[in-house]
Every structure is written in structure tokens, then in C-alpha cells.
């Protein structure tokens, strides 16, 4: 049985532990804080899950992840996906994911303004809305617990790993999120502190909403269902470069920007936020992920603010790298 140490118990470390345990490895998971800490990237109730991306590689990875989430639900007996659907808002259909979804045979359709209003979302003049039903939210805290319930790793919390060489393991998987460069110094990543805000909303959950940037075709503003308050909204890559060891609250300037957007896109929602929070991104320039083997080390990093949805697929790739 291969002894594997996993450093960092955010969603990627938990997913790696799950995939490694399924392949018979003896896994020890190290976490510098407590099991429910809110200092990294994975805490909270929900994250957007979507198949729709304008680039095929992400669509393929999301399809693989969807199958993985379904397997995890069966294995753990927990619900981890809530399928409220996705609305992609774009200034033109050429910016949207339509062509890739069509090429891969994934169900989708364009909505007119009235059809979008039925989802209680407002379409800007001249824009298009693409609906994709196999989407919604991942229940983030539930998902981490589901991975751990199934994997049952040896589990050391409040243990900050200072030296990878000192770990008693044949392979070390490093999933240290925003702290990764303390352990793997040469990674081309930057850490930013991002802000989300919550709004009171009752009734049927909203679909997840992503508004794509014209040039990058990546999401800019986004919103999703929050089981506690009703609506969570944020601005992708709007935050400042941050030191993960310094705790900071939500940025009021970004909250104000989110408020304006929510006021325009969700006319039936009270635009006064009921809560706000901050969270860390670890990003590469092109939002790709670092998944690589270096001798005894496997590095799993840089989920660039959109990684949660892919966790089962990332966990399996890390297990492949670790076990060969």
C-alpha cells in the first residue's frame, strides 16, 4: 500500500484523498488550521457548477467532474449538487458557450427577455442569455465532508507542514492553495483576496448566473443560490494581491460594485446586502491549473477562482500522478 501525504485540506486536498483512497493508498491529510476554517478558498455553502464554458477543455473537464460528483453522492449518501440551472449572459452570442455546447451535444437554448424574466433575471438591452440546465451549485461544505467521509484518511488538523522532506510518505501531494509557494516556491501564481456579498431572497432558488467578459470570455460578475440568505453574488478577479497569513474583511468598494449589479440584474431582490465575506484566489495568468509531478512531489494548485466545480476530476488527476 503506497503511503501518500496530502498537504492542505481544502476541496482539492479532500478530493485527492478521496481519489487516492479509492485506489488503495494509505493517505494522511495535513491541515494547518481546524477542519471548518475560513482562511483559504474552499469555505462556504455554495459554488457555481456549470458545464458551459466557451473553451472545450473546460467543458470536457466539467463533464468528467459531474460524473465524479454523482459518484460521490452515491458513495457518501450526501447531496452535493443542487441543479438550479445556469444562465450565461453575454453581449453577443459569439462570446457565449453556445458553439462548444452544440458541438458536444449538451442541452442548452437561448432565452428571450421574457423567458429570462421567468427566472427573475433581467437581460441588458441587446444582450443574449444562454440557458443550460445541467448546472447550478455545488454545496461546498457538504462536498468537502463527503470526500472525507468516503476517503477516511488519517487526518491531522492544526499541523502546519514546514518541510515536505520531513514527511513520512513515498509520495507527497501538495494542495496548499494560497500558501503553495511557501512549499513550492517557483510556481507562477498570484494570490488575491476576493469579495462576495449576500442578499435576502425567498422562494425558488435562482439559477446560477455568469456574465462573460467580451475579450477574455471568462466570467466577470456572477451570482448563485445561497441556502441561508437566498442570493450570493461576486465580481471575479476584482480583488487585490494578498498575503494569505493576513486576515482581511470584505472590500466595501467591491461590495458597492456587486450591489449595483444585483440592483440591475435581479430587480425583485432587495439590493441591501445582508452579509459580505472574503476568500482567496490562487491564479495563473490564463486561469489554467498546475497539476504536475516533480520527483516525490505532486503539485495541485492554482484553481484560479473557478476550480471548485472540477474537484472530483482534479482529485483523480492528482491520484494518477501520485500512483502512476
Residue whose CB is less far from ligand FAD, 42 or 76: 42
Which one-letter DSSP state was computed for residue 123? P
Stretch that binds ligand FAD, among 10-18, 71-79, 107-115, 255-263 (CB under 6 A): 10-18
Residues 172-231 that bind ligand FAD (CB under 6 A): 175-179, 183, 194, 196
Instruction: State the sign of the Cα–Cα–Cα–Cα dihedral 245, 248, 251, 255.
Output: positive
Q: How far is the CB of 76 from ligand FAD (least distance, A)?
A: 18
Cα 267 from chain centroid (whole Å): 27
36-65: contacts with ligand FAD (CB under 6 A): 39-42, 47-48
What is the smallest separation between the CB atom of 125 and ligand FAD, expressed in angstroms? Answer: 27
- Considering only residues 126 to 165 of the shown chain, the ones binding ligand FAD according to CB under 6 A are 160-161
What is the Cα–Cα distance from 195 to 177, expressed in whole angstroms? 17
Shortest distance in whole angstroms from residue 202 CB to ligand FAD: 22
Q: Give 68's Cβ-side CA count (13 Å radius).
A: 26
User: Are the C-beta atoms of 17 and 184 separated by less than 8 Å?
Assistant: no
CB nearer ligand FAD, residue 117 or residue 145:
145
Least spacing, CB of residue 161 vs ligand FAD, in Å: 4
Rounded to the nearest angstrom, the gap between the alpha carbon of residue 142 and the centroid of all alpha carbons in its chain is 13
Cα of 235 vs its chain's centroid, Å = 14
The three cell numbers locating residue 237:
478577479
Residue 222, beta-bridge partner list: 210, 234
CA 5 to CA 233: how far, in whole Å? 35
Binder to ligand FAD among 4, 6, 9, 89 (CB under 6 A)?
A: 9
Nearer to ligand FAD, 114 or 163 (CB): 163
Interacting residues toward ligand FAD by CB under 6 A: 7-13, 30-33, 39-42, 47-48, 160-161, 175-179, 183, 194, 196, 234, 279-281, 303, 305-309
Amino acid at each position: 500500500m503506497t503511503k501518500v501525504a496530502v498537504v492542505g485540506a481544502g476541496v482539492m486536498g479532500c478530493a485527492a484523498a478521496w481519489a487516492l483512497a479509492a485506489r488503495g493508498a494509505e493517505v494522511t491529510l495535513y491541515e494547518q488550521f481546524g477542519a471548518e476554517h475560513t482562511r483559504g478558498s474552499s469555505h462556504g455553502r455554495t459554488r457555481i457548477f456549470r458545464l458551459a464554458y466557451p473553451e472545450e477543455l473546460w467543458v470536457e473537464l466539467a463533464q468528467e467532474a459531474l460524473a465524479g460528483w454523482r459518484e460521490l453522492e452515491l458513495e457518501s449518501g450526501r447531496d452535493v449538487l443542487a441543479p438550479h440551472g445556469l444562465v450565461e449572459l453575454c453581449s453577443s452570442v459569439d462570446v457565449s458557450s453556445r458553439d462548444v455546447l452544440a458541438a458536444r451535444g449538451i442541452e442548452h437554448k437561448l432565452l428571450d427577455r421574457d423567458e429570462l424574466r421567468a427566472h427573475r433575471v433581467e437581460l441588458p438591452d441587446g444582450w443574449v442569455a444562454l440557458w443550460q440546465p445541467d448546472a447550478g451549485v455545488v454545496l461546498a461544505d457538504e462536498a468537502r465532508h463527503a470526500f472525507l467521509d468516503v476517503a477516511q484518511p488519517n487526518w491531522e488538523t492544526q499541523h502546519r507542514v514546514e518541510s515536505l522532506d520531513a514527511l513520512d510518505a513515498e509520495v507527497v501531494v501538495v494542495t496548499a492553495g494560497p500558501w503553495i509557494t511557501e512549499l513550492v516556491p517557483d510556481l507562477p501564481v498570484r494570490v488575491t483576496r476576493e469579495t462576495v456579498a449576500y442578499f435576502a431572497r425567498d422562494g425558488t432558488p435562482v439559477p446560477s448566473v455568469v456574465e462573460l467578459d467580451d475579450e477574455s470570455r471568462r466570467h466577470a460578475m456572477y451570482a448563485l443560490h445561497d441556502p441561508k440568505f437566498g442570493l450570493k453574488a461576486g465580481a471575479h478577479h476584482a480583488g487585490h494581491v494578498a498575503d494569505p497569513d493576513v486576515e482581511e474583511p470584505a472590500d466595501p468598494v467591491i461590495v458597492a460594485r456587486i450591489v449595483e449589479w444585483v440592483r440591475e440584474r435581479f430587480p425583485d431582490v432587495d439590493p441591501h446586502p445582508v452579509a459580505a465575506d472574503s476568500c482567496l484566489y490562487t491564479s495563473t495568468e490564463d486561469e489554467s491549473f498546475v497539476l504536475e509531478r516533480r520527483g516525490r512531489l505532486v503539485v495541485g494548485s492554482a484553481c484560479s477562482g473557478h476550480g471548485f466545480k472540477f474537484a472530483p476530476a482534479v482529485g483523480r488527476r492528482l491520484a494518477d500522478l501520485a500512483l502512476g
